[in-house]
Amino acid sequence: MLIELKDIYKIYGEGLESEVRALDGVSLEIQRGEFVAIVGQSGSGKSTMMNVLGCLDIPTRGEYLLDGVNVRELSDRELSRIRNKQIGFIFQQYNLIQNLNVLENVELPLIYQGVGMEKRREMALEALERVGLANRVKHKPTEMSGGQQQRVAIARAIATKPPIIMADEPTGALDSHTGHDVLKFLQQLNKDGSTVILITHDNGIAATAPRVVRLADGKKIEDHEQEVDWL
């Protein structure tokens, strides 16, 4: 089992009249190599779920086992190492550094890992080749379309070859055609062996995943597998 959540709560203002249970007793298992969409409307808890799964936030109560390790027992430094080595993040707003060129943006997580210059350049170029941007390495993000910037963000996420890809509304800022290409690439990453977790509010996008977990008011209300026509 790659991911196991056991009765997870994330509570803000616990014990106060204004207490908010962003996650309210959620249990979830994700096998290595799965493609799972976590879907819900605003306020459902899906963003909090992503933060917990991505080790960006620690649950208030409950147990989170990531590859057998209890996340709640880890130090900030250990959590940072997990985020850098085990999880590749793709966000809606790309989060690229504007004054760095494409290659430098993709190299960043490799620098944090301490990879030497020659090796990290090779790994970054390989990732950019996979997303079809090997000919744009010297361009700045401001010189690229939204779809191209998202592909740079994907290259940055996969450059370290993490076993988990976590995509938070990755098509939200894109037109439908470009969004389709991004979803197709996520499916390909899954075929290549990555565990893909897709966070979305859109049922149509969730339909591209073989498994859908639906949240509402911080609770898991649905968890089912479905037949998917690969894009």
- CATH assignment at residue 14: 3.40.50.300
CA distance 31 to 3: 7
The per-residue b/e assignment along 38-65, b for 16 or more CB within 10 angstroms, e otherwise, is bbbeeebbbbbbbbbbbbebebbebebb
Query: Is the residue at 189 inside a domain?
Result: yes
Average pLDDT, the chain: 94
Percent of the chain clearing pLDDT 90 (strictly above):
85
* pLDDT one-digit tens code per residue, 92-134: 888 999 999 999 999 999 999 999 999 999 999 999 999 999 9
Judge whether residue 60 has pLDDT over 80.
yes
Query: Is the residue at 230 inside a domain?
Result: no
Query: Is the residue at 65 inside a domain?
Result: yes
| pLDDT for the residue numbered 93 | 87
Query: Is the residue at 190 inside a domain?
Result: yes
* CA within 13 Å, CB half, 62: 22
Q: Which two tokens mark 156?
A: 């940055």
- pTM as predicted: 0.94
Q: Which two tokens mark 137?
A: 């390495």
Judge whether residue 230 has pLDDT over 80.
no
Query: Is the residue at 231 inside a domain?
Result: no
Judge whether residue 181 has pLDDT over 80.
yes
Domain with 84, as residue range(s), is 3-225
Interhelix angle 102-112/117-130, rounded to 10 degrees, is 120
Total structural domains in the chain? 1
Query: Is the residue at 30 inside a domain?
Result: yes
SS3 120: helix
* CA within 13 Å, CB half, 5: 23
Q: Which two tokens mark 13?
A: 């203002």
Query: Is the residue at 93 inside a domain?
Result: yes
| pLDDT for the residue numbered 183 | 92
